[in-house]
Amino acid sequence: MIRVLLADDQEVVRLGLRVLVDSEEDLAVVGDAADGLRAVELARQVRPDVILMDVRMPGVDGIEATRRIVADPRLAATRIIVLTTFEIDEYVFAALRVGACGFLIKDTKPAELLQAIRLVAAGDALLSPSVTRRVVAEYAGRPHRTLRPHPRLAELTEREREVLAVVAEGMSNDEIADRLTISPATVRTHVSRAMVKLGARDRAQLVVFAYQSGLV
C-alpha cells in the first residue's frame, strides 16, 4: 500500500484528491494539511511514501516545507510531488532544487496523477524530458543567472560530466546514448555514478545541479 499525504490550503482540493486517491486499491491517504508547517508535522508523524505538496500556502509554503522534509533523515524514503498552477513558474525550479521529485499541474488528468504517485513511490523522478527542456530553457535564459557549482563536481570523470550535461538538456537515456555513441546501459551507469558522487536523490536533482554548476 502506498501511503499518501496531501498538503493544500484549499479544502475542496484536498477533498477531491482524497476521494481520487482512496478510490485506488493500492493507494491510501494517511493525512492532509492546509499549510506547510502542518504538512511537515504530519509527515514526521505518519511517514508517508508520497506527499502531494501545493507550493502556495499560508505561513510556511510548499517550498520551505519540502526543504524541511527532505532534510529530515527520518523521512529519507518520503517522495514529494509539487502541485502548481502553471507548468513553468518561479516555484518549480526552487522545488526541484530543495529536493522535490518533480511537479504536476493541478489540472492533470486523474489517471496521470495516480500514475505519478506510483512512479515516485517506486523511486522514479517525475520529470519528463520535454518538461525538463522547458524548465532549463526558462531558467538558463535569465539574464542574472548566478552559478553555484556543486562542491563535489570535480569528483566526476570527464565522461560523467558530459553525460550530466546532456541529462540536463532533457534527453532520455536512449537519446543520450545516440548523442554520445554509447549504449543505454553505459548511460545508466554514468547517471547512477553521478547521482552517488553528487548526492542526488534522483534525476530531477541532477538537472538542478547541472544548471547551478553551469554545465547547461
Q: What is the pLDDT of residues 114-136, one digit of tens each?
A: 988 998 888 766 665 556 666 66
Q: Any idea which fold 2-126 has?
A: Rossmann fold (3.40.50)
Within 13 A of 172's CA, how many CA atoms are on the CB side? 5
The domains of the chain are located at 2-126, 148-212
Report the pLDDT averaged over residues 136-157: 75
Closest alpha carbon to 50 in 7, 81, 19: 81
Q: Class of 148-212 per CATH?
A: mainly alpha
Cα angle: 115, vertex 209, 64; to 5 degrees: 65
Q: What are phi and psi of 99, to 5 degrees?
A: 125, 5
The residues with which 103 forms a beta bridge, in sequence order, are 82
Q: Is 204 left (phi over 0), alpha (psi -120 to 50) or beta?
A: alpha
State mean pLDDT over 143-164. Answer: 85
Contact (Cβ atoms closer than 8 angstroms) between residue 130 and residue 170: yes
**Distance between CA atoms of residues 209 and 202, nearest Å:** 11
Burial code (b: 16+ CB inside 10 Å, e: under 16) for 74-98 equals: ebeebbbbbbbeeeeeebbbbbbbb
pLDDT tens digits, 30-89: 999 999 999 999 999 999 999 999 988 988 999 999 999 999 999 999 999 988 876 555
Distances (CA, A) of 33 to 106, 133, 137, 178, 184: 17, 32, 33, 45, 41
Give the angle subtended at the CA of 60 by the CAs of 54 and 64, to the nearest 5°.
75
Kindly state the percentage of the chain with pLDDT values over 90.
Answer: 50
